[in-house]
Chains A and B, each alone.
Chain A
Amino acid sequence: MRVEALLQFALAIAFIVLWVFMPAWSISGANYSISLTPWGYVVRFFGETHVIPPPTVYAVWLFALDAGLLPLVWRRSRYSLYLATLFSVLSLSMLMDTILFQQRYLQFHGYTIAPTPTGYIYVLLSTKPVLGLPTYILLALTILSIFNMATRARWLGTRVIEDPIVAVERVLKVLHIEYSRIEGGVKVGGIKIIRRDDSLLLVNEHRIDEVDLGTAITEAVKVGLKQPVSVGVVDYGED
Chain B
Amino acid sequence: MPPSPFKITLLISILSIAIALTLIWGTAQTAPNLIHYSTLSNDPYIKVESINVTPNGVYIRLAVINNGTPLVFRPTGGWVEVVDTGQSINVTMTNGTVIAKLPLMPQWTSLASVGVKGIVSGVLNGSRAYIAFFDVAPIHVINTIGIADVSYADCVLNVTLSVDTVVPVVIGPIINMSLFTVSTPGYYVFETIGIVNTTVYAPAGSHNVTLTIQVSPALGRYTYVYSCNYLSGFSKYTLWLPIGVTYMYPTGNVTSYTLLTKTFVVGGGS
Contacts and interface: CB of A to CB of B under 8 A. Distances in A.
Interface in A38-58: 43, 45-48, 50, 52-56
A54 B30 CA distance: 8
A121 interface: yes
Contacts of A116: 43-46, 131, 133
B123 to A, nearest CB: 10
B125 A30 contact: yes
Interface in B1-30: 5-6, 8-9, 12-13, 16-17, 19-20, 23-24, 26-27, 30
Contacts, number: 128
B12 A83 contact: yes
Given A112-B39, A118-B47, A123 B129 contact: yes
A118 B135 CA distance: 6
A94 B23 contact: yes
Contact of B8 (A79, A98, A112, A125): A79
A50 B127 contact: no
Q: Interface range on chain A: under 10, 10 to 19, 20 to 34, or 35 or more? A: 35 or more
B35 A105 contact: yes
Given A47-B70, A90-B16, A83 B129 contact: no
Interface in B42-63: 43-47
B221 interface: no
A124 B133 contact: no
A21 interface: no
A48 to B, nearest CB: 6
| Consensus secondary structure, chain B interface | mixed
Contacts of A121: 40, 43-45, 124, 129-132
Nearest to B16: A90
Given A97-B27, A122-B129, A114 B39 contact: yes
Q: Interface range on chain B: under 10, 10 to 19, 20 to 34, or 35 or more? A: 35 or more
Contacts of B24: 56, 94, 97
A25 interface: no
Contacts of B128: 123-124
Contact of B133 (A45, A80, A119): A119
Contact of B132 (A43, A78, A122): A122
B258 to A, nearest CB: 36
Contact of B40 (A55, A79, A112, A118): A112
Nearest to B32: A105
B9 A82 contact: yes
A114 B129 CA distance: 11
A98 B56 CA distance: 63
Interface in A66-101: 66, 76-80, 82-83, 86-87, 90, 93-94, 97-98, 101
A85 to B, nearest CB: 10
A90 B19 CA distance: 10
A30 B13 CA distance: 43
B31 interface: yes
A29 B125 CA distance: 12
A52 B31 CA distance: 9
A106 interface: yes
B187 interface: no
Given A90-B16, A121-B130, A31 B125 contact: yes
Nearest to B65: A117
A44 B20 CA distance: 28
A147 to B, nearest CB: 18
B11 to A, nearest CB: 10
Given A46-B40, A118-B45, A106 B13 contact: no
Nearest to B5: A77
Contacts of A105: 31-32, 34-35
A116 B45 CA distance: 6
Contact of B23 (A48, A59, A125): A59
A114 B40 contact: yes
A71 B71 CA distance: 54
Contacts of B40: 46, 112, 114, 121, 123
**Which 8 pairs between the two chains have the least Cβ-Cβ distance?**
A116-B45, A77-B5, A114-B40, A119-B133, A79-B9, A79-B5, A118-B133, A119-B132
Interface of A: 29-31, 43, 45-48, 50, 52-56, 59, 63, 66, 76-80, 82-83, 86-87, 90, 93-94, 97-98, 101, 104-106, 112, 114, 116-126, 238
30 contacts: A29-B127, A31-B125, A31-B126, A52-B34, A54-B31, A54-B34, A55-B27, A59-B20, A77-B5, A78-B5, A80-B9, A82-B9, A86-B13, A93-B20, A105-B31, A105-B34, A112-B39, A116-B43, A116-B46, A116-B133, A117-B47, A117-B65, A118-B45, A121-B131, A122-B130, A122-B131, A123-B127, A123-B129, A124-B127, A125-B127
